[in-house]
């Protein structure tokens, strides 16, 4: 996590924080799959429901590194930086 933070510029970190906060609808410091789905419906409004759900599942599985059912900010940073 520390290394990821060091790789980001201040502006990149601010954009990541803003995108995380936009998805974290109840401001509890973590993103649920449902919150991610709501955000993806806005972002991917040109896709059908099935494709949006598929993309949500894929992105959530990739970002929820500890498997606790939530994406916290450090996981968000790592998943946004790691483009593998």
Going by C-alpha positions, the residue among 76, 42, 40, 34 that lies closest to residue 55 is 40
**pTM attached to this predicted model:** 0.85
Contact 29, 73 (CB under 8 A): yes
Average pLDDT over residues 30-40: 97
CA–chain centroid gap for 48, Å, is: 20
Per DSSP (E only), the strands in 1-84 are 30-31, 71-72
pLDDT at 9: 84
The residues, any chain, with a CB within 8 Å of residue 80's CB and separated by 6 or more, are 16, 19
What is the length of the chain? Answer: 84
Most confident among 7-21, 37-51, 69-83 (mean pLDDT):
37-51
């Amino acid at each position: 996590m520390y290394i990821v933070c060091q790789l980001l510029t201040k502006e990149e970190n601010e954009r990541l924080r803003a995108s995380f906060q936009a998805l974290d609808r109840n401001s509890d410091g973590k993103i649920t799959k449902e919150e991610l789905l709501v955000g993806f419906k806005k972002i991917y409004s040109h896709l059908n429901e099935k494709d949006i759900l598929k993309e949500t599942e894929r992105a959530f599985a990739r970002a929820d590194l500890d498997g606790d059912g939530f994406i916290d900010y450090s996981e968000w940073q790592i998943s946004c930086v790691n483009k593998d």
